[in-house]
Amino acid sequence: MADILYDKVPSLDLADFTNGTQEQRENFVKSLGEAYTNIGFVSIKNHGLSDELTKNLYETVEEFFRLPDEVKERYEKKELAGQRGYISKGREKAKGRNTGDLKEFFHVGQPKENQREDYPDNIWPSEVSALEKYTSEAYLTLLQTGVSMLKAIALYLNLPEDYFDEKVKEGNSILRPIHYFPIENPDELPPDAVRAAEHGDINLITLLMGASADGLQVLRRDGEWIPITALPDQIVVNVGDMLERHTNGKLKSTIHRVVNPPRELMHTSRFSIPFFMHPVSEMDLTCLEGCIDAEHPKAFEDITAGDFLDERLKEIGLKA
C-alpha cells in the first residue's frame, strides 16, 4: 500500500463497526488499516465515555495533582516500578534520553473484578475519595472500547475477530492521568527538557482522552511533525510497539511527543488521560506469519509481552 501523507489524524466512527451494516463494518476496518499502516493514529467518536464521566474524572484528577508534593509522594511505591500509584515529577524519561519529562502521573491497573494474582493492588489516596470511582469507571469503559478496536484490527490482519479478546480481558493495562505541571522559571530548565520527549508507546494500543491543552504532535513518515487535535467528542487511538512488533512492522507505532507551550504559557498546567492497553504477560509477540513475506522478512526477535514490558520499563527509568 502506498504511503498516505495525512495532514491531520483520520477520524472514524466506532459505531460503524460495533452497530453498523456489513458494508459499514468493512469500510471501518479498511479505513482503520490504512491509517494504522501509515500514520499509526486515528480519532474515534462513539467511544463509550460520557461527557459526565469525563468531566468528573478530570475534576477529580486535578484535585489529586493539586495536593502538596509530599502528600502525593506517600502514594509512590518505587518497588512497583511505576506500575501503580503516583510517579513523581521528572522520574520517567523517554527511551534513549537522560533528561526526565516535565510531568507527574498516577497509575491505575485492573479493577478488583479483573485482577490476577500476579498484579499489584491499586493504590488509592485517602485525600481524594472519588478517584477510585471515576478512574475505575473510565478504565472499564476504555477496556471495552479497546476490545472493539482490536476486533477491527484482527479482521484487518485476516485473523479471527476475537483473536485479541482473551489476551487483553485480564491484561496488564494501565490508566494514566498525567499532569504536565506549570514551570515558573523556564530559564532554570535543562535546554532539552520537554513535557514528553519523542517516543513510541510500549503496549498494543493506546486510547487517549482529550487533553486540557494543545501540545501533542505525531511524526509523519516524511519527517514532518503534525498536531493531534481530536474534537471534544472523540478520543485518539494509536498503535503501540507491541502491536507493531507482533505485525512485523505492518501496523506502525508512530513516534509522538508533547511539546512545551509558548513561554508565556509555561506557568499553566496541562492534563491528559491515556489508557495503555496491555495484554497478559504471557502473550507471545512473535511476528505473525501473515505479516512476513519476501518483501517483509521477519524483523523482530521472539519475545513475550511481559519480558518486553520489563525491558522497556528499565529503558525509561521506571525499573532498576
Q: Report pLDDT digits (tens) over 126-174.
A: 999 999 999 999 999 999 999 999 999 999 999 999 999 999 999 999 9
Average pLDDT over residues 64-73: 97
Q: Which residues contact 158 (CB under 8 A, 6 or more apart)?
A: 290
CA–CA separation, 89 and 79 (whole Å): 17
For residue 268, is it left (φ>0), alpha (ψ between -120 and 50) or beta?
beta
Q: Report pLDDT digits (tens) over 209-257.
A: 877 668 899 998 889 998 887 677 899 999 999 999 999 999 999 999 9
Q: Are 77 and 123 a contacting pair, CB within 8 Å?
A: yes
Q: Which residues contact 66 (CB under 8 A, 6 or more apart)?
A: none
Min mean pLDDT across 21-30, 64-73, 263-272, 285-294 is at 263-272
**Grid cell listed for 192:** 532539552
92 band by pLDDT with thresholds 50, 70 and 90:
confident
319 band by pLDDT with thresholds 50, 70 and 90:
confident
pLDDT at 181 over 60: yes
CA–CA separation, 220 and 42 (whole Å): 13
Amino acid letter, residue 207:
L
Average pLDDT over residues 275-299: 97
Can you give the pLDDT at residue 112?
78
Q: What is the sign, positive or negative, of the torsion defined by CA atoms of 173, 179, 180, 186?
A: negative
Can you give the pLDDT at residue 3?
65
pLDDT at 2 over 60: no
Can you give the pLDDT at residue 7?
80
Can you give the pLDDT at residue 317?
78
1 band by pLDDT with thresholds 50, 70 and 90:
very low
Min mean pLDDT across 54-58, 85-89, 108-112, 175-179 is at 108-112
Q: Report pLDDT digits (tens) over 306-315.
A: 999 999 888 8
Percent of the chain topping pLDDT 90 = 72
Beta-bridge partner residues of 85: 76, 107
Average pLDDT over residues 272-278: 96
Can you give the pLDDT at residue 99?
85
